[in-house]
């Protein structure tokens, strides 16, 4: 048996179509949803991500602005920029591109918390985290939200399934836990102290790999027929990306699997666009 390949391009297009329709409805009411991305410094990978976000905004009719601050920008300069955008009614979403330069990286949490929770399209503000944990989510981190949306669009049942997440980050692992629980899955979160890990992962009907270790999940760790969601993106050579799952071996035993590249990564930007629309509606009281 060879697994069904869950191609990110297909699901991303469907998510963006939904966002485009919502943007058109807002524009018909005289509201142009706007996203502002703040980038500090010259990180090449960050510049690529920001260009992708800008391009996708333009595709969908979302007003896009990029605020570029120099590598030596201070924490106070960045906070002042966020304050200005918080006060701008034409800006519905604010995103600070991570990672920050070393000089201000220690202040990352303070910086993210400065963003108005209703404009926090990354879903990282403690207000939005709290809403997710208590079962009334508003703006949800884009990658885990994209994973859930993909499962739905693919017709994969979540209710009643055993789900296992490898990784407990604030960006993927923890929000994924709450999203899956909200859909009535029985969820186990594993990490570097989980022993024996393979015994736990082999129980999973849905296995989410998000620990940042290339090809860590092997066929021996997977239940036959399981759905494998590979969130990892690991560069093992200048032009070679792999996921946290050993794709070639696992695809022979899994029921469905996301590839890397071309899988979950494409969903993140698409879900960001949906968050911008959601943020605009929240600010309009809708």
Query: How far from 65 is each of 59, 154, 174, CA to CA, in Å?
Result: 14, 33, 30
In the residue annotation, 89 being an active-site residue is answered as no
Catalytic residue among 16, 53, 174, 251: 53
Mapping DSSP to helix (H, G, I), strand (E, B) and coil, where does residue 95 land?
Answer: strand
Burial group, residue 123, by CB count within 10 angstroms (0-12, 13-18, 19+): buried
| Dihedral angle sign, alpha carbons of residues 71, 74, 78, 84 | negative
Main-chain phi, psi angles of 246, to 5 degrees: -75, 90
Residue 48 near residue 39 (C-beta atoms within 8 A): no
Phi-psi domain of 225 (left: phi exceeds 0; alpha: psi -120 through 50; beta: other): left
Catalytic residue among 16, 116, 120, 122: 122
Q: Encode burial over 84-111: b for 16+ CB neighbours within 10 A, e otherwise.
A: ebeeeeebbbbbbbbebbeebeebeeeb
In the residue annotation, 75 being an active-site residue is answered as no
Beta strands 234-237 and 240-242 are antiparallel
In the residue annotation, 244 being an active-site residue is answered as no
Give the residue from 12, 50, 48 showing the smallest Cα distance to 258: 12
What is the CB-side half-sphere exposure of residue 60 using CA atoms within 13 A? 35
Annotated catalytic sites, by residue? 53, 97, 122
């Amino acid at each position: 048996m060879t697994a069904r390949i869950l191609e990110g391009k297909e699901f991303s297009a469907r998510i963006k179509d939904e966002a485009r329709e919502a943007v058109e409805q807002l524009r018909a009411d005289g509201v142009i949803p706007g996203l502002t991305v703040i980038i500090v410094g010259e990180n090449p990978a960050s510049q690529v991500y920001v260009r992708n976000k800008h391009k996708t905004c333009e595709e969908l009719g979302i007003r896009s602005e990029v605020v570029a601050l120099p590598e030596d920008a201070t924490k106070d300069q960045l906070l002042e920029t966020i304050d200005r955008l918080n006060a701008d009614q034409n800006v519905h979403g604010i995103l600070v591109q991570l990672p920050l330069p070393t000089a201000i990286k220690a202040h990352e949490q303070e910086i993210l918390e400065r963003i108005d929770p209703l404009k926090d399209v990354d879903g990282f503000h403690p207000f939005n985290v709290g809403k997710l944990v208590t079962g009334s989510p508003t703006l949800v981190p884009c990658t885990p939200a994209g994973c859930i949306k993909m499962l739905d669009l693919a017709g994969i049942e979540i209710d009643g399934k055993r789900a296992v997440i490898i990784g407990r980050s604030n960006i993927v692992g923890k929000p994924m836990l709450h999203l899956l629980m909200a859909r009535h899955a029985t969820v186990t979160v594993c990490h570097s102290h989980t022993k024996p890990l393979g015994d736990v992962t082999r129980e999973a009907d849905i296995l989410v790999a998000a620990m940042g270790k290339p090809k860590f999940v092997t066929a021996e760790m997977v239940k036959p027929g399981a759905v494998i969601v590979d969130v990892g993106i690991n560069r093992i050579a200048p032009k070679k990306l792999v996921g946290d799952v050993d794709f070639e071996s696992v695809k022979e035993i899994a029921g469905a699997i996301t590839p890397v590249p071309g899988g979950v990564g494409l969903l993140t930007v698409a879900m960001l666009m949906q968050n911008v629309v959601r943020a605009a509606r929240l600010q309009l009281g809708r």
